[in-house]
Amino acid sequence: MTTEQLDTREASLWQDLMAFSTLMPAAIEEELRRDAGLSLFEFSVLALLARSPERTETMSRVAESTHVSASRLSHAAARLEERGLIERTACPTDRRSVFAVLTDAGLEKLEVSLPIHTAGIRRVVLDALDDADRDHLARILATLLRHDRIGGEACATDEA
């Protein structure tokens, strides 16, 4: 590990990465909140549950899959549950586990939100890149997410 300062090129790359990582989700979330009443994180939770068998997943798996703390997920789940978009139920075989279940209302909200989310991704990211740039970015992100120093350990990624 080197303790040298970043050179000008590295510092510029880092600043651009930080700016994009802050501005990109905010741009997509603004439309989701305005047009669907969901935060980007809440949308991600609903989408994950929709892809899960029987629209059900343990809260710990949702937290792991969305890369957030159990506390942050618990607060978001409470908001989603208050709105009738998910239900939380105890696991009958493991008292420590709680299931999050996507309700019919949650699935309807997701279906309304999906075109807004997709349009935001296209407008903010995909439309600016050609196919070669998209492939290159995908390889870079996969490399960074596998890097062993994020959060102290390697991040699991689903590779096709």
- The model's pLDDT over 93-142, given as tens digits with 9 standing for 90+, comes to 888 889 999 999 999 999 999 999 999 999 999 999 999 999 999 999 99
Provide the pLDDT for residue 159. 37
For the segment 10-36, the average pLDDT, to the nearest whole number, is 95
**Residue 89 CB contacts under 8 Å (≥ 6 apart), including other chains:** 98, 99, 101
Q: Which residue has the tokens 């699991």?
A: 156
Residue 84 φ/ψ region, left for φ over 0, alpha for ψ in the -120 to 50 degree band, beta for the rest: left
Is 137:122 a contact under the CB 8 Å cutoff? Answer: no
**Domain locations in the chain?**
13-119
Provide the pLDDT for residue 94. 82
Beta pairing partners, 98: 90
R_g of the chain, CA atoms, integer Å: 18
Q: Could you tell me how far CA 149 lies from the centroid of its own chain?
A: 20
Assign 7 to helix, strand or coil.
coil
**Residue 30 CB contacts under 8 Å (≥ 6 apart), including other chains:** none
Distance CA 111, CA 46 (A): 10
The upper half-sphere exposure of residue 9, i.e. CA atoms within 13 Å in the direction of its Cβ, equals 0
CATH code of domain 13-119: 1.10.10.10
Provide the pLDDT for residue 150. 65
Provide the pLDDT for residue 106. 98
Beta pairing partners, 143: none
Give this prediction's pTM: 0.83
C-alpha distance from residue 62 to each of 6, 8, 42, 118, 146 (Å): 36, 39, 11, 21, 20
